[in-house]
Amino acid sequence: MNTPADPEQSCGDQGSLFVIPSPDPTGSDRESPSDAIVLKRLRSFVASIANDASAVTDDPRALQLARDLSEVFADHAGLTGLTKAEAEQALAKYGHYDEAFFESRFELFIRMELISPFLAKKHQQRYVLDPSGLAGLLVFERLGTRGGVDEMLLLLDRTRWMLERGDIDRVDLVRYLKRCRQLLSVYAAKLARLVDTASIAVLIEEHRNHDAARVQQDVHSMNKLVSDRFPGDHELGDLAFRLVEAELRYREQVIAAVSRVLDQGGATLDFSVLPAEQYRTAAQDCTLDELAGVGASLVVDPPQPWIDPGALLDAIEEYRPRVRVSGRPPAPTVKAEDDPIGAMRTRYERKAYERARQMEDYLQGAQAVELTLTLRALGWPQAGEQLMELLAVSADPDQPFSVELGQMLLVDREGAVTYMHPVFLKRPQEQGLLAAEEASWSDDEQEAAR
C-alpha cells in the first residue's frame, strides 16, 4: 500500500492552509483532544449496536480507567493474569480512583468480557484482558482523535492497492467503490455543516483531520485503473465517475473551510471590541455566568451632551414637522373634448353611413349585383382594399348587406389582378334601416358625407 503524499508537496495544495495530518494518527505534531471530546465523537460510532442512548458514558474517567487498566494487565499480568486486588494496587501509579467507581467499572468490564476469568470456574480470582478490548481502545483512540478520517483514507488506499495488484473481483470492487463514495459524501456534508455553523476553532481542528490532496490522488488513480482494466464495463465506469464527483464535492468543502477562516482573518482587522467568530464561540461554549460578565471590564467613554450650533440647526431642520400647503392644480393647456365617447360614436356612425352609401351606389336600386369586373378594373392593391371593405360591411350586423364569394376561380396572369373569385353584393328584401339612419343625420352631416 502506498504511503500518503509528501507533506511538503501537500502544503502547496489550495486546501492545505493548516498542518496536513501526519501518517501516524498519534504523532506528536498535534495536540490530542480531551477524553470528553473523544467520548462525544464515539457516540455515533457505537450507535448502530447500542441498546439505548446511554450506551456511551459521559464520564471521561471511564475511558481513562479502561486505558490504565488495559496497560496494567498488558504489563503485569504475565501468563496467569491478575487478581482484582493486584490490578487495583497496580493502578495506584496512574493516579487515584474512587473505590466505588473502580468497583462499578470492574464489574462492568467483567460482564462485557473486556476482562475474563483465567479459568472457567466459580469464584475464580484471577483475570486476563481480552485482546479485542485492547484493540478496541486503539480504534477508539484513532476515531476519537481523527473523527474516522483515517478509516476513509485506509479504505481508499486499500481499494487502490488491490486494483493495482489485481487482487479484487468485480463484486468486491463494486462494494468498495460504493463505500468510498458514501464516505466522501458523508464527510463533505459534515464539513458543509461545520462551515455554516461551527466556530473557527472547531473548524480548524476538523480541517486538520483531512488531507484533500491525498484523497484526490487516490480517487483519480482508482478512476484511471478502473477505466484501463474494465474498459467495457459501464456499471464500474459509472461508479468510478460518481466517486470522482464525490471527491470534488469533498474537496470543495475543504476549500470552503479554508475560505471561511481567511475571511474571518480579514474581518478581524477592523479593531472591533470582539470579532464575530468570538461572539459565536462564546454563545456556543460559554456558561451563563461567563456571558454575563462580558462587559464587566469594558472601558466606555462618558457621554458628550454638548453640541455646536450648526449641529443643532441641522437636527431641527431634519426633525421639524413638514407642513403641507395645498394648491390649485395647474390649468390644462390642451382643450379637452366635450364628449370623447360621443365623438367616437359619431365617427363610427359616419363611417357606417359612408359604407352604406357606397353599397347603395354599387346596387343602384337593385337587390343584388356582381362586382367581379368592377374589382378587377380597380387593379392592385385597390381591389384588395375594396374587397376588405365589402367583407367588413357584410360582417357588420347593423348593415343590411351581405357579400358572397363564388366557388369559381378566375385566373388572368396578364392582368393587374392575377386571380380572384366572383364577388356578389346582395341586399335583403327588408329595407328601411338605411333610410332611418339617414333621417337621424342632420342636413349638414348628410352633405358632408356626400
Mean pLDDT of 383-399: 79
Single residue among 197, 231, 265 that ends a domain in this structure: 265
Query: Is the domain of 100 the same as that of 179?
Result: no
Domain CATH code at residue 103:
1.10.10.10
Kind and range of the H or E run holding 368: strand 368-370
For residue range 207-221, list pLDDT tens digits in order. Answer: 888 888 889 898 998
* One-letter amino acid for residue 128 of the chain: V
Q: Averaged over 209-234, what is the pLDDT? A: 88
The residue out of 265, 291, 315 marking a domain boundary is 265
pLDDT tens digits along 51-93: 777 777 778 888 888 888 888 888 776 777 888 888 888 888 8
Instruction: Specify the DSSP class assigned to residue 232.
Output: T
Whether 222 is in a domain gets the answer yes
| Predicted pLDDT of residue 267 | 56
Kindly state whether residues 155 and 137 are assigned to the same domain.
Answer: no
231 backbone φψ class: left, alpha, beta (φ>0; ψ -120 to 50): alpha
What pTM value is reported for the model? 0.45
For residues 34 and 145, give the distance between their C-alpha atoms in angstroms, rounded to a whole number: 9
Q: With a cut of 70, say whether residue 9 has pLDDT above it.
A: no
Q: Is residue 336 part of a domain?
A: no
Q: How far apart are CA 202 and CA 3, in angstroms?
A: 28
Domain boundary among 120, 144, 168: 144
Q: How far apart are CA 171 and CA 255, in angstroms?
A: 34
Query: Exposed (0-12), middle (13-18) or buried (19+): which is 73, by Cβ within 10 Å?
Result: buried
Number of domains in the chain: 3
Lowest mean pLDDT among 65-74, 115-124, 196-205, 354-363: 115-124
Residues 39 and 105 in one domain: yes
Range of the domain at 347: 343-449
Residues 87, 168: one domain? no
Give the whole-number percent of the chain exceeding pLDDT 90: 3
* First-last CA distance in the chain: 108
Above 60 in pLDDT, residue 340? Answer: yes
pLDDT higher than 50, residue 18: no
* More confident site: 48 or 74: 74
Q: What pLDDT is recorded for position 252?
A: 92
Domain check: are 139 and 232 in the same one?
no
In a domain, 184, yes or no: yes
The secondary structure of residue 15, as a DSSP letter, is T
Q: What is the pLDDT of residue 248?
A: 92
In 3D space, the residue among 403, 390, 400, 393 whose CA is nearest the CA of residue 436 turns out to be: 400
Is residue 325 a part of any domain in this protein?
A: no
How many Å apart are CA 168 and CA 159, to the nearest integer?
A: 9
Q: Are residues 122 and 160 in the same domain?
A: no
Task: Give the model's confidence band at 21: pLDDT under 50 very low, under 70 low, under 90 confident, else very high.
Answer: very low
Shared domain check, 251 and 174: yes
In-domain check, residue 70: yes
Residues 231 and 140 in one domain: no
Write the pLDDT tens digit of every residue in 106-124.
Answer: 888 888 878 878 777 776 7
Residue 173 CB: number of other CB atoms within 10 A? 22
CB 85 within 8 A of CB 63: no
Asked, for residue 332, whether it belongs to a domain, the answer is: no
Report the alpha-carbon distance of residue 260 to residue 203 in Å, rounded.
Answer: 9
Checking if the pLDDT of 445 tops 60, the result is no
